[in-house]
Amino acid sequence: MRIRRIIESLLAIALSFPLVAASASGEDLPKLGADAKRVSISGLSSGAFMAVQYDVAFSASTIGVGVVAGGPYNCSYVNMVGITTCMQGSPSGAASYNAAIGFQTLGKIDPIAHIAKQKVYLFSGTSDSVVKQSVMDAVRDFYQMLKVPAASLIYMNTTDAGHAFISQDFGNGCNTNQAPYVNECSVGGALYDQPAAILGHIYGTLKPKANALSAQPVAFDQTTYAGPTSSMAAAGYLYVPAACRGAGAKCAVHVVFHGCLQSAESVGDAVYAKLGYNEWADTNGIIVLYPQVNKNVVPVNPNGCWDWWGYSGLDFQTQSGTQIAAIHAMVKTLTSQ
């Protein structure tokens, strides 16, 4: 009887966890009439895997992607030893390309021909101990097979950086591989500004970044878009420049996917407020969406990673994937009048 009571207690805790996590949220995501033709994405680690997945699934409505220490499309299912190969081994870009063709044939993703029109930014630090450079090489191969022109594909792979976003504003030492997974690195004698590099590559020459923000990031309710089995947090974050709230502003939208152990639950405002995207977005008419995934027990996601191996369902890499569909719905809200 005692063992039974213990099992029942543990089961009750597991089943109640998502409900507790969903109790705190924010305001409704606003309909801002943003420009649906200028949507882009970027991410680190599991967020970089997610950025590639979203990019492939919704390539018709995505104009560019930034991939920092991630892996190629559907990597864990098309390579032997799955997750290990996709972090520490040499996955096949060709296998990912073939997977994309297969899902295209099934009508589960947009036609992959759209990707050739995109701007692609890739970054892999030489001191990254979490995702080896051979994995990012496969991402490069994948996009080359998709016929992204050389002029549209940037691959930075010579900086002595650890597993992190690179910020000009704050962070650990360049070759660090620890929380908050934001580092400062010098490139060409100056601190490297990765948000500027990503946004500038995708949208073209940027106006100087804001010295003082015209607004502040706000929490919004994610539960409208995804249920507890998605592992998504109750609240995400949104930065809307003051100029983007006016009628007819038609601002761009950029989605930033945090990495494992890097949601606000784990690192506070390090990504959604301090990384550096907001300052550039403020003066360049870009709305920045920071969706959040938290550590969870049901489904099993102890490190708060975006799903790139199937914990939220086997269709995680397609348009019907729980997380991908939720993010797309958020973007559609922002681009609605």
295: which DSSP letter?
-
Residue 156 near residue 124, CB atoms below 8 Å: yes
163 in active site: yes
Residue 279 near residue 268, CB atoms below 8 Å: no
Which parts of the chain fold into alpha helices (H)?
A: 2-21, 46-57, 75-78, 82-88, 93-105, 133-145, 194-203, 264-267, 277-284, 322-334
Give the residues across from 119 on adjacent strands.
Answer: 64
Residue among 35, 46, 127, 163 flagged as catalytic? 163
Distance, in Å, from the CA atom of 35 to the CA atom of 88, rounded to the nearest integer, reads 38
129 in active site: no
152: which DSSP letter?
G
Residue among 110, 128, 193, 282 flagged as catalytic? 128
Distance, in Å, from the CA atom of 181 to the CA atom of 270, rounded to the nearest integer, reads 9
Q: Rounded to 5, what percent of the chain is helix, strand, coil?
A: 35, 15, 45
> Nearest 5°: CA angle at 335, between 331 and 337?
140
Residue among 35, 40, 42, 45 flagged as catalytic? 45
201 in active site: no
Distance, in Å, from the CA atom of 96 to the CA atom of 71, rounded to the nearest integer, reads 10
Q: Which residues are catalytic?
A: 45, 128, 163
